Structure 1
Amino acid sequence: MIIEQLFQVFKEVAETNNITLSAKHLHMSQPSITLQIQNLESEFGARFFDRTNKGVTLTKEGEIFYSHVRRVLEILKDAREQISNMAKDERRLVNLGATLTIGEIIIPKLLALMSKNHPDVEFKVKIANNDIISQDVLEKKLHIGLIEGMIFQYNDLNVDKFWEDELIVMIPHFHPWESRNTISFEELLSERLVTREEGSGTKKIMETILQEKGLDPVRLNIAMELGSTQEIKQVVAAGLGITVISELAVRNKDDEKLFKIIRFNEGPIHRPFNILTNAHVIQTQKEKAFIKLLHDYEVMDRLINENDLESEKVLEDCQENKGKGPMRQQYC
């Protein structure tokens, strides 16, 4: 496409601020690039570049044109990708992103289940916090993102709830609160708190809840910010603080020996688990099957809430199509 080639030339010059360097990158001659820029300027009746001995810089008109050119080229790229995917109806590699709790607890079981019926599809998984996963879906680096809690930017993103989680307070058994089953939000402010890093869903929802209760999140006595659930558990077990964590992350027998679970007397804190997809990208059939699995409450309930041995039984039932209700051949 001639117009696309012209736009590519313009974009390259705008980003390098150098016609010689652009010619090298595009494997074109300098006169050819200069001529194409002149043709664009003539077509739109505006000067897009100021030319000096040191190179070129965008004019105000050029900056406006540059923003539109980027969008046009991105749209064309998306169109090619979607048409290609529809033609093949296949994308062997699915780039999947998940936040920590989902990645550690749910993803391994989900992928094992998917592999029973779709062994030809490979999943590449990235574990990161909400902010990173959301941005990667927006930038189309990830095909599907699974995050904890809500996000505050919905532009260009489809956000779809697939599960709900409860946040609890986790303390070591030798903590003064060991005999209690509930505490207040106000009491939480007086304790040394071990949290996830900035951008995590758990931390964001806690700050939101405190604000809703009229409490300033700045009052939280955050002793440490750590990047994994296991690190947080080790620090809490050593008595260096307490934490607010997913109830799903404190379920095995070893955890029962080390920790006490306490809830809030103002009521439970629930947060959604959400599916993120880019609003401008069409999912392949395999990606749609994966999303459909996430929405199957019966299967998800068994995978999430039953122990490892029972989860193996879920996989066996799927393999033999013994599941009840909608437990089924499209992904089982």
Structure 2
Amino acid sequence: MCEQQFLVFKTVAESKNITLAAKKLHMSQPSISLQIQNLEDHYGARLLDRTNKGVTLTRAGQVFYDNVCKILDMLHEAREQVNALGEDKRSEVYLGATLTIGEYVLPHLLAYLYRVRPDIDFKVKIANTEVISQDVLEKNIHIGFIEGPIPPNRDLKIESFWQDELVVVIPYHHPWAERDSISLAELPQERMIVREVGSGTRKVMELALEEQGFDPSLLNITMELGSTQAIKQVVSAGLGMTVLSALTVRRECDQRVFKALRIQDAPVYRPLNILTHAQTAQTKDERYLIDLVHNRKLLSEVISMDYCAMDGLGAVSGWTSVKKADRVVRGAGSGDSSGAIPG
């Protein structure tokens, strides 16, 4: 049996739908069905039960699926090890990150790695938590950095690497700017600028406030905007205050554009997480990056130091290729977002 047939079977089993699997693999449905039929004929067992609603694994199919996953992981690891032996072979690490991390953490991290590990090329995709999680599952990216929670999945390993504090952000000329904190009870006293309903940033804010016993409906919301940057512009103009990640306003606070006030009743935090495939071993270069991110002291220094200004790296978006050899950073756009990691 060839690796392609194993991959087709695994994708169908996980999608539970031949049409979805065909789209993911960029294959026709008849080709998918033929490969599944060839597998069943070869092993002399029915691997999938087919219904109008989709497909499910039979008992034999579940056993076969578990072993196929192991085989594909072993083949992936074998390729990584063989590639590492090649002369002048540069390592590639595919990363995915949600927006806040992609804008305010990853550029500093990549600029630092640009200096200390010039032998690694990083390719970065910025997307929401759901997309990044799916890409890790499908092994389109090696390491994901996410802000939001994800449903439990035995094939995903999630590790917290940073506790991101949510702070109340006001203009530096605001009467409260002489203070360092604010109570939850004071929040309704000022106009509040927030993200639109349904955005991940707003959900995180509302959930965090609810966990502290505060009803978000009590906020005096006067404006809803579609981006964090737009909110920052409106707040700096003195049209209200907002609740944002401390990471997103660090520079403006240093420049005395904003003042960040901690919530004094109980500081509100949200975890920033590393997401990896639980059934796949990391390469030494992937492990290097994970260990670096877990080093809180070093990561704090990396974020505080303006490596981006030193090396000309800014926020990344879409697929971005960070090339160390020729000192070039280029965006590849969103068209490549569905491509799997090259073997």
TM-score by length of 2: 0.66
Q: How many residues align?
A: 292
In structure 2, the CA distance between the partners of 1:240 and 1:194, relative to structure 1 (3 Å rule), is farther
Matches within 5 A, 1:13-24: 15=18
Partners of 1:7 and 1:149 in 2: CA distance = 29
What is the Cα deviation at residue 242 of structure 1? 2.3
Partners of 2:256 and 2:306 in 1: CA distance = 17
8 A contact 1:182–1:262 mirrored in 2 = yes
8 A contact 2:92–2:120 mirrored in 1 = yes
Query: What letter matches 1:194 in structure 2?
Result: V
In structure 2, the CA distance between the partners of 1:196 and 1:120, relative to structure 1 (3 Å rule), is farther
In structure 2, the CA distance between the partners of 1:75 and 1:224, relative to structure 1 (3 Å rule), is farther
Moved more, 249-258 or 158-167: 249-258
What is the Cα deviation at residue 159 of structure 1? 1.9
Partners of 1:268 and 1:132 in 2: CA distance = 30
Matched, 1:87 2:82: yes
8 A contact 2:108–2:306 mirrored in 1 = no
- In the other structure, the counterpart of 2:96 is 97
CA shift digits 1:44-93 (9 cap, x unpaired) = 479966xxxxxxxx479964449747666555433321222233348832
Matches within 5 A, 1:239-254: 239-252=238-251
Moved more, 262-271 or 151-160: 151-160
What is the Cα deviation at residue 176 of structure 1? 5.8
- In the other structure, the counterpart of 1:258 is 257
Query: What letter matches 1:15 in structure 2?
Result: I
8 A contact 2:97–2:124 mirrored in 1 = yes
- In the other structure, the counterpart of 1:53 is none
- In the other structure, the counterpart of 1:226 is 226
8 A contact 1:99–1:130 mirrored in 2 = yes
8 A contact 1:99–1:129 mirrored in 2 = yes
Query: What letter matches 2:101 in structure 1?
Result: I
Moved more, 241-250 or 173-182: 173-182
Moved more, 171-180 or 107-116: 171-180
What is the Cα deviation at residue 196 of structure 1? 7.2
- Of the two, which has the highest radius of gyration? 1
In structure 2, the CA distance between the partners of 1:215 and 1:155, relative to structure 1 (3 Å rule), is farther
Partners of 1:308 and 1:35 in 2: CA distance = 54
User: What is the percent sequence identity of the aligned residues?
Assistant: 38
In structure 2, the CA distance between the partners of 1:39 and 1:136, relative to structure 1 (3 Å rule), is closer
Moved more, 155-164 or 271-280: 155-164
What is the Cα deviation at residue 144 of structure 1? 0.7
What is the Cα deviation at residue 111 of structure 1? 1.8
Which among 66, 70, 78 is matched to residue 73 of structure 2? 78
What is the Cα deviation at residue 96 of structure 1? 0.8
Say which SS state the counterpart of residue 105 (structure 2) adopts: helix
What is the Cα deviation at residue 178 of structure 1? 4.4
8 A contact 2:171–2:236 mirrored in 1 = yes
Partners of 1:146 and 1:284 in 2: CA distance = 17
- In the other structure, the counterpart of 2:192 is 192
- In the other structure, the counterpart of 1:112 is 111
What is the Cα deviation at residue 126 of structure 1? 1.8
Say which SS state the counterpart of residue 250 (structure 2) adopts: coil
TM-score by length of 1: 0.68
- In the other structure, the counterpart of 1:330 is none
Matched, 1:296 2:299: no
What is the Cα deviation at residue 132 of structure 1? 3.2
Say which SS state the counterpart of residue 271 (structure 2) adopts: strand
8 A contact 1:197–1:225 mirrored in 2 = no
Say which SS state the counterpart of residue 304 (structure 1) adopts: helix
Query: What letter matches 1:86 in structure 2?
Result: Q
Query: What letter matches 1:187 in structure 2?
Result: E
Partners of 1:106 and 1:3 in 2: CA distance = 37
Partners of 1:63 and 1:154 in 2: CA distance = 18
8 A contact 2:47–2:57 mirrored in 1 = no
8 A contact 1:46–1:61 mirrored in 2 = no
Query: What letter matches 2:186 in structure 1?
Result: E
Say which SS state the counterpart of residue 153 (structure 1) adopts: coil
8 A contact 1:169–1:243 mirrored in 2 = yes
Where does structure 1 lack aligned partners over 5 or more consecutive residues? Answer: 50-57, 313-332
- In the other structure, the counterpart of 1:183 is 182
8 A contact 2:194–2:202 mirrored in 1 = no
Query: What letter matches 1:192 in structure 2?
Result: M
8 A contact 1:100–1:127 mirrored in 2 = yes
What is the Cα deviation at residue 161 of structure 1? 2.5
